[in-house]
Structure 1
Amino acid sequence: MSDPVSSSIAWPPAWHYLAGAPATAGDYRQSPEEFQVEEVFDFIPEGQGEHWWLWVEKRGMTTPDLARLLARAVDIPVRDVGFSGLKDRDAVTRQWFSLALPGREPPPDWEAGLVERGVTCLQAVRHPRKLKRGVHRANRFRLRIGGEASVSSATHERWDRLVQLGVPNYFGPQRFGPEGRNLFRARQLLARGWRKRQDPHGLLLSTARSYLFNSVLSARVADGTWCVPQPGDVLNLEGTASRFAATEIDDALLARAEAGDLHPTGPLWGRGRLESLGEVAEREIRIAAGCPDLAEGLVQAGVNHERRPLRLRLKEPEWQTDGDAAWLSFSLPRGAFATSVLRELFRHPTLV
C-alpha cells in the first residue's frame, strides 16, 4: 500500500483515528482540578540517605518551575534537584522530587514560599540517591469531560472500544506546541544544523521525532495494522522495554498481540540501524523521506534510532457518570499522552 508523504508540513495534521473522527463535541480541563495526574513508581524511598525526597502536589506550574522554587527554598543549586517526569502545568499533579541535602536539614521556613504558590508537600522522606529522569513506571490519570460527549452513547461506545483494543500511541498535541509552533521551530533549527545551546533540553529534537512517528502510526491505523504484527515488525513486550524483530508471523504471535501481550513498534528517527525489516522498513523509510528536513536533520544531529510501541493499553480503566459530566480514570505507561486517549473519544479544537 502506498502512503501519502509530503515535504510540506501543514498544521493541523491529518492523522487517522481508530474509528473515524469523532462527531460529538466535548470539553476537558476547564480547571486544573479536572485534569489530575499522579506518578506511579515500582519502589519507595528507603528512609535514610543524603537526598530528601518530597511527594508534592502542584497546580498552575511546570515541573522545571517547581524544581527552581524548591532549590531556592532549601538554598541548593537547581542541578541538585531531581525529578522523573515533566507534568502538565494546567493540572493538579503529584510527583516526587529529590533535593540533595547531605548532613543537614532544610530551613525551618522552607515551605512558606511553596504554600503561597499553591504547592503542597504531602510526604518527605530520605533516600540514598538522586531521583533520575524517566524512572517512574506509569502515570495515573483522573479526567473530567463535559459537553455533549460526556452523555453521548457514541462516546461511551468509543471508550469501550479503546478499553478492548487499546489506543493508538500518538504523541499528544502538547509535544508540538500551540498551532504546531514547536514543529516549525524544529524544522528551522534542523535546517541550520542542530546545536545544543539552541535546544538545551532536546525539545525540538523530540518534536521532530514525534512527528515522524505519528506519521508512521497514522498510516498503520489507516490500514488496520497498528496493533496487528506484520512480517518485519519489531515487537514490544507489554509493560517492558524488551523487543524483538519478527521475520515471520504465526498464529501464536497474532494471539499474543490480540491479547495485548505484544505490540508493533514504530521508529523514533535517528542514526543507526532501523531494526525493522522488509516491507515494514521500506514503508517507514518512505514516510520519513516525505519529510527530509526532519529525517536528515535528526541523523545529522546525532540522535540514535529508537522504537516506540504503536499501541497503548489502558490499565484499570474506569468511567463514572457525574450528572452532566463524566470522570475517566486510567493508567498509561511513562511517555504516553492522556490527550491521545481523549482525541479518540470526542471532538475538541486542541485535540489534533
Structure 2
Amino acid sequence: MVTGLSAGQVPGEGEHLLVHIEKTGDNTEYVARELAKLSGCRHLDVGFSGLKDRHAITRQWFSLYRPGQQANDSDVLALISQQWKVVEACRYHRKLRRGDHQCNHFVITLRDMDGVKSDIEQALASLRERGAPNYFGPQRFGIDGGNLDRAAVMDPSALDQRRRGKGRGRGKRSGGRDSKNVLYFSAARSWIFNEVLARRVEEGSWLEPLSGETGLPDQPGVVTGPLWGDGGSGASGEQAQLEQAVAEQAPELLKVFSTTRMQPERRALSTIPAELSWKWFSNDSLELRFNLLPGQYATTILNDIFEIEDMSLGHHNKQQG
C-alpha cells in the first residue's frame, strides 16, 4: 500500500498520475468520478482500463491528468488512500484507455457446492482444453435488459457519422447522449451475437467452422460469430444465412444498424481461460484461478459448468431494500 509518500518519490515521468487501487462495492465509473474530485481534475481527464465488477474485490489502474503537479502527488495519494487501498502509483506519459490492459486475472471461490468431485474435475479439465461458449455477460444488457429496451426504440440516426460528424465536442455538448447511444448499440450487437452462439451450441456447431466463415484478422482459423453492422454480419454462404435468420427474429434491433455505417466485426464463439488452475479447500469449497482477455466474462465461463448463485448480489439487494 502506498502511504506517506513525500514530494518527488512517485516514480516515472509524464503528465498523468497512475494509481492502482483495490476496491469493493464501488463500480468503475463511480470511482473515476470520485478520483476526479480528490485530484482536482475533470472527470473527462480520468482514464481507466477495463470495467471491474462492483461486488468483487478488484484491483484496477486509473490515470489522473495532473500536468506540472508532481510535487503534490503524495497529498493526492494520501486522500485517495483514505477511501481505497492504493497498491502502487507512478507517473505516465498518456491517459489510460479501456482496452489498454492485456488480460483480467480472476481468483474465484465457489462455496456450498453440490456435485461429484470427480465429475467437476473432469469438466474443468475439458474447459481448460476445449473452452466454453464466449457469451456476453448479462451486465452488457443493463438492469433487467434495459439497454436492449432502449436500443429497440433509439433513433438509428443517433449514431450516423454522416449526419452528426466525428468531432469530440458534439458528444460533450449533448450531455453524454453519444456514449449512451453507443452503449445501447453495443447491447444490440451483443444480443444478436449471443443468439447466434446459442443456436450454434444447440446445433453442436460452435467449435466447427461453417461455409463462409471469415475468422479473425490475426486468427483466420478461429470460429466466429457476428458483431452486427451496417450491411450485416460480414460472413457469407451458409454462415451468413444462419446469422441472418437469427437476427431477423429481432427486427426492432436490426433497424438500429440501418444508418450507422458501423462496420461488421467478428468475435470468437469460444474462449479458453488461460492458466486455469483449481484448489479444493473441502469437498464443497473450490478455488479457481484463470486469466481472460478483455471482453470475456468469468460468469459465462463458470455457468458452462456450474449453476451459480452470486451471494454478493443478494447481500447488495438486501442493503438497498
TM-score range, shorter chain: 0.7 to 0.9
Q: Which AA in structure 2 matches 1:322?
A: F
Cα distance in 2, alignment partners of residues 226 and 174 from structure 1? 23
Instruction: Report the equivalent of 1:203.
Output: 183
Out of 10, 20, 26, which is 1:61 matched to? 26
Instruction: Report the equivalent of 1:242.
Output: 218
Within 5 A, what are the aligned runs for 1:190-229? 194=158, 198=177, 200-201=179-180, 202-229=182-209
The answer to whether the 8 Å contact 2:232/2:244 transfers is no
1:103 deviates by: 1.3
- Bigger RCO (CA 8 Å, 6+ sep): 1
1:303 deviates by: 3.0
Cα distance in 2, alignment partners of residues 47 and 109 from structure 1? 17
1:185-213 Cα offsets, whole Å, 9 max, x none, are 322335x8646754624221111111100
Cα distance in 1, alignment partners of residues 38 and 243 from structure 2? 48
1:146-201 Cα offsets, whole Å, 9 max, x none, are 223476443333222211211110001221234333322322335x8646754624
Within 5 A, what are the aligned runs for 1:163-202? 163-189=128-154, 194=158, 198=177, 200-201=179-180, 202=182
Q: 2:243 aligned with 1:263, yes or no?
A: no
Q: CA 1:164/1:293 → structure 2, altered by over 3 Å: closer, same or farther?
A: same
Out of 80, 84, 100, which is 1:114 matched to? 80
The answer to whether the 8 Å contact 2:151/2:256 transfers is no
1:106-154 Cα offsets, whole Å, 9 max, x none, are 365424553443x111111111111122121111111111223476443
Extract unaligned runs of 5+ from structure 2.
1-9, 160-170, 311-321
Instruction: Report the equivalent of 1:282.
Output: 241
Cα distance in 1, alignment partners of residues 126 and 43 from structure 2? 44
Q: Which AA in structure 2 matches 1:71?
A: A
Q: CA 1:340/1:68 → structure 2, altered by over 3 Å: closer, same or farther?
A: same
Q: Which AA in structure 1 matches 2:183?
A: L
Q: Counterpart of 1:233 in 2: which secondary structure?
A: coil
Instruction: Report the equivalent of 1:23.
Output: none
Q: CA 1:319/1:87 → structure 2, altered by over 3 Å: closer, same or farther?
A: same
Within 5 A, what are the aligned runs for 1:7-26? none
Cα distance in 1, alignment partners of residues 292 and 46 from structure 2? 25
Instruction: Report the equivalent of 1:155.
Output: 120
Q: Which AA in structure 2 matches 1:114?
A: I
Q: Counterpart of 1:347 in 2: which secondary structure?
A: coil
Cα distance in 2, alignment partners of residues 46 and 306 from structure 1? 40
Q: Which AA in structure 1 matches 2:253?
A: L
Instruction: Report the equivalent of 2:259.
Output: 300
Q: Which AA in structure 1 matches 2:113?
A: E
1:255-310 Cα offsets, whole Å, 9 max, x none, are xxxxxxx4211111111463312111111111111111111213334433111111
Q: Which has the higher helix share?
A: 2
Instruction: Report the equivalent of 2:63.
Output: 98
Tell me the matched-pair count: 283
Q: 2:268 aligned with 1:309, yes or no?
A: yes
Extract unaligned runs of 5+ from structure 1.
1-44, 245-261
The answer to whether the 8 Å contact 1:234/1:243 transfers is no
1:73 deviates by: 1.1
Cα distance in 1, alignment partners of residues 136 and 265 from structure 2? 15
1:41-94 Cα offsets, whole Å, 9 max, x none, are xxxx99211111112211111111111111111101111111111111111111
1:234-274 Cα offsets, whole Å, 9 max, x none, are 223xxxx5254xxxxxxxxxxxxxxxxx4211111111463
Cα distance in 1, alignment partners of residues 97 and 299 from structure 2? 25
Q: Which AA in structure 2 matches 1:200?
A: S
User: Percent same amino acid at aligned positions?
Assistant: 38
Cα distance in 2, alignment partners of residues 184 and 275 from structure 1? 25
Instruction: Report the equivalent of 1:42.
Output: none
The answer to whether the 8 Å contact 2:26/2:54 transfers is yes
- What's the TM-score once normalised by structure 2's chain length? 0.80
Instruction: Report the equivalent of 2:3.
Output: none
The answer to whether the 8 Å contact 1:314/1:330 transfers is yes
